[in-house]
Chain A
Amino acid sequence: MKPLSVIHYTLASALGHGKSATLAALQEDRSGLRVNNFADAPLETFIGRVDGIEDIALPPDLGKFDCRNNRLAQLCLELDGFAAAVAAARERHGPKRIAVILGTSTSGILETERAYRRRDPASGALPGDFQYVATQSMHSAAEFVRRYLDLDGPAFVISTACSSSAKVFASASRLIQSGFCDAAVVGGVDSLCNMTLYGFNALQLVSSQPCRPCDPQRNGISIGEGAGFFLLEKTPSPLALLGYGESSDAYHMSTPHPEGLGAALAMEQALSRAGIAPQAVDYINMHGTSSRSNDSAEDKGMQRVFGTGTPCSSTKGATGHTLGAAGAVEAAIACLSLEHGLIPGTCNTRSIDPELGSAVQLQHSARKLRRVMSNSFGFGGNNCSLIFGVAS
């Protein structure tokens, strides 16, 4: 495929607000995980919480969209001059020529959880002030962001669990290539809620400790929240999406294919679209959830495609697993790595599981990078790999 330019990007996660805070944390191998202090969901675990969401106020004319998820989206849109960059793109292309495609897994469900605790005891009705359509309905994030950025292009949400906001890059690439738009705002946002904390806990996938991807003692994930946004255009720029690959495991709803078959297919397709050999990838940001099965399957998939020499790491020990936002958050980390010559480490992990064969990096290192892959795999066996590159 023709490279698709990354004109601007930003992110927010437990590591902080924006690119500088994230980069500083990655360069110090610092984790943003904390003991769960999310009052809505008192579960014994560690979480990747974004500070300051509670203080965000949505514009009055968009008040009905108010929920934790859209507050986090707005917080992130105002970082690193992202909204201003989109405003400039709007001037260049016109608002109707910019698509908005966002990934989320649970949208504004926290609001619905709270509304279910306030049902009318007699009728069972939800409280009158509850805004289902603007907060919980899956399209809410794309509609809110589209209006916040004053865009009028086609807008929709992709919700394929933890690969959601990686797949938005593929859809945007196709829409731009086929001429349905000139630019796209893509990304993802997912926020803390009971649904995911207690749901993953029911599947015995939540660790009571900070998660340790690829560690022999790893025993589950740490749930996080986060957002990442990208402005994509055809106009050449130094930083670009070079390839994407999408595949399905066709194996199990909540367990990855044990040999990493679908994961390998996604990685191979991304390489094929980028027109590069595996050796041309300098670093792989793993999905690396810290569940026993994910890290093992991903390792096998990476070995099948790359052998054992390509440096890789998981940043989920730093950010937590931001679920539907993970694709965008980690795409942003991949871009930061490229721009600043950084291979991030794998926070909290003490040693590498000897059963894994890939070159998992425990600590960060400085190295000039030209091409970086980011992996995202979700429930339903839904896989997406992205390759970003910088012009040499």
Chain B
Amino acid sequence: MIDIYLAGIGLCAPGMLDWAMGSAVLRGEISLSNEEPKPVAALLPPAERRRSSQATRYALQAGQEALIMAGLPATEAAVVFASSDGDGENLHHILESLAQPEHEVSPTRFHNSVHNAAAGYWNIATGAHTPANSIAAFDDTFAAGLLEAAVQAATENIPVLLAAFDLPLPSPLHEVRPTTASFAVALLLMPRPANTLTRLRISLEGKPEDGTSMHHPELEILRNGNPAARALPLLQAIATRQAQRITLGWGDNSLIIELNHENQ
């Protein structure tokens, strides 16, 4: 069991273009629209922005928002990017090229194909020399990313930015791995309280539990349809400052998050 402190949140998803909009949706103040985000990821230099993919821009947009909310220089935070399937659009183009007799792969597509592309672009954009990770655990990717980021913050005593993202894969990959909507969420985790939003006490239970679900049917569809959107119940607990205990299923285990909104 470890305690960490949340200092910033970022969101980039349809109808939840940023945390202000997303938290209003999660509090039930406004309804979930289908307005698509146009992530600018303004921290990327123009040349890198052109080379980067939509998946990277989603992740960086959310990460940048969380960082600004926390008021922390990017150079101080380690980063953990978490994505089940990474940049499917780029992968699809490479696979199509490789299916041709010439096997010609675009060099830019190839260097964008690494699962840690978003982390690489983040470091280039921010100049941060801090550790950068990129992890995957299929549908449990958000739980794995949260544990990795929280444990790193607590044991290494450094701020850690977690950015979880997945986007629908293009056809024909979509048919074998459906992701229903795009979703990126970022949490800036601090080892100690300092103007932080809430305390997160994280533990691992050795028995499988269904993850905490969303009452709102559309949000529940989103939660089930994108591994990064497994964060929604936690985000709702933070937005409403009500729920005390959130469960994230993780294989035969469950990640338990106990929130203390007062103890910051």
Contacts and interface: CB of A to CB of B under 8 A. Distances in A.
Interface of A: 41, 43, 96-97, 105, 112-113, 116-117, 119, 124-126, 130, 132-133, 137-139, 142-143, 146, 152-161, 167, 170-171, 174-175, 177-180, 194-195, 198-203, 246-254, 261-262, 265, 378-382
A174 B152 contact: yes
A232 to B, nearest CB: 15
A362 to B, nearest CB: 32
The interface residues of chain A, by DSSP majority, are classed as mixed
A152 B175 contact: no
A387 to B, nearest CB: 16
25 contacts: A116-B98, A119-B172, A137-B84, A137-B138, A138-B115, A146-B251, A154-B253, A167-B133, A175-B147, A177-B155, A178-B2, A180-B151, A194-B103, A198-B103, A246-B133, A248-B123, A250-B124, A254-B111, A378-B114, A378-B116, A379-B120, A380-B114, A380-B116, A382-B119, A382-B134
A265 B84 CA distance: 29
Contacts of A262: 129
Contact of B251 (A119, A155, A180): A155
Given A137-B136, A156-B144, A262-B129, A132 B177 contact: yes
Given A133-B176, A249-B129, A250-B123, 8 more contacts: A119-B172, A154-B144, A159-B136, A194-B103, A199-B110, A379-B120, A380-B114, A380-B119
B95 A113 contact: yes
Q: What 9 pairs between A and B have smallest CB-CB spacing?
A: A380-B120, A199-B110, A159-B115, A246-B131, A138-B136, A132-B176, A156-B137, A156-B144, A248-B123
A194 B98 contact: yes
A158 B135 CA distance: 4
Nearest to B250: A154
Contacts, number: 200
Nearest to B52: A253
Interface of B: 1-2, 51, 78, 84-86, 94-96, 98-99, 103-107, 110-117, 119-121, 123-124, 126-138, 140-141, 144, 147-148, 151-152, 154-156, 171-173, 175-177, 204, 206, 250-253
A253 B56 CA distance: 13
Given A157-B137, A198-B103, A247-B129, A379 B98 contact: no
A154 B176 CA distance: 25
A122 to B, nearest CB: 12
A248 B103 contact: no
Contacts of A43: 103
A246 B152 CA distance: 12
